[in-house]
Amino acid sequence: MTALPPIREVIARHGLSASKALGQNFLLDEQLLARIAAIPGDLSDRAVLEVGPGPGGLTRALLKAGARVTAIEMDRRCLPALAELGEAFPGRLSVIEGDALKLDQGAAMGGEPFAVLSNLPYNVGTALFVKWLSGEQWPPQWTSLTLMFQREVAERIVAQPGTGAYGRLAVLAQWRAEAKLALKVHRSAFTPPPKVMSAVVHISPAEAPAGVSARVLERLTEAAFGQRRKMLRQSLKGVPGALDALARLGIDETRRAETLAVADFVALARALHQNQ
């Protein structure tokens, strides 16, 4: 591997002024980037999908960790910098120009299991996260998700019942996966610094509970948390069979959604699925 110039220099040389519209806040600190790349464990010769490589700070850390990286970037101004990085790691980096929300990930990764790592563009982060976690196929093709979010969103993902942060994202992330807050990142670590703090969450698939449809669970949490201040008997009124299922499971219908454990939502979704 040839010596690589600091990312700050790469940004300057390629004139990569950060675009707000594309959610660009770059990470330049190599130590921090190496710590993020280490979160999923040993990456040697593993396939990694990176969303939004930008000038390539995290990409470089992933390559140094031995990964084979497929990176999708929407901003074509970044492509020459990424091409240079690819030359320094021959055959290990493939860059796709495009929108990650539209990517056929299975095809892009050649059917191989892959880890996802990304300093996500905040404007598309949640949409991508929901897409990764809501497929009916489980375990999914991805083996882990290591994702930077605004800290408030990261806290919602790992939230426990009875807290204000607990809601759809927590249930989605926890009902058949393990979600943990892996690293808090100060806003000053980014160039330019965003207004809010960030955090990296790490998600690994767990065994899916039997007899539960992701679609039914999604409908249930949408209704329950759509009116989170209301009692379940009100918020779940429009979900056919839900009130009967509450009674059968011995869940008090005067409770509110945020008091139910993830396992309660799973049991409800299973009962509804059996009814269909």
Q: Which residues bind ligand SAM (CB under 6 A)?
A: 22-27, 51-54, 57-58, 72-75, 78, 99-101, 119, 121, 124
CB of 150 to ligand SAM, least distance (A): 11
CB of 245 to ligand SAM, least distance (A): 38
CB of 23 to ligand SAM, least distance (A): 5
Pick the closest to residue 214 from 266, 145, 156, 157 (CA basis): 266
CB of 36 to ligand SAM, least distance (A): 8
Comparison of 98 and 226: residue with beta carbon closer to ligand SAM:
98
Comparison of 53 and 140: residue with beta carbon closer to ligand SAM:
53
Comparison of 25 and 146: residue with beta carbon closer to ligand SAM:
25
Comparison of 93 and 214: residue with beta carbon closer to ligand SAM:
93
DSSP secondary structure of the chain:
------HHHHHHHTT-PPPTTTT--EE--HHHHHHHHHTT---TT-EEEEE--TTSHHHHHHHHTT-EEEEEES-GGGHHHHHHHHHHSTTTEEEEES-GGG--HHHHTTT--EEEEEE--HHHHHHHHHHHH--SSSS-SEEEEEEEEEHHHHHHHS--TTSTT-SHHHHHHHSSEEEEEEEEE-GGGEESPPSS-EEEEEEEE-PPPTT--HHHHHHHHHHHHHTTTSBHHHHTTTSTTHHHHHHHHT--TTSBGGGS-HHHHHHHHHHHHHH-
Cα angle: 45, vertex 102, 117; to 5 degrees? 30
CB neighbours of residue 251 within 10 Å: 16
Comparison of 11 and 239: residue with beta carbon closer to ligand SAM:
11
Measured in Å, how far apart are the chain's first and last C-alpha atoms? 58
Comparison of 185 and 232: residue with beta carbon closer to ligand SAM:
185
CB of 188 to ligand SAM, least distance (A): 14
Query: Are the C-beta atoms of 76 and 9 separated by less than 8 Å?
Result: no
Comparison of 25 and 235: residue with beta carbon closer to ligand SAM:
25
CB of 190 to ligand SAM, least distance (A): 7
CB of 169 to ligand SAM, least distance (A): 19
CB of 52 to ligand SAM, least distance (A): 2
Comparison of 88 and 208: residue with beta carbon closer to ligand SAM:
88
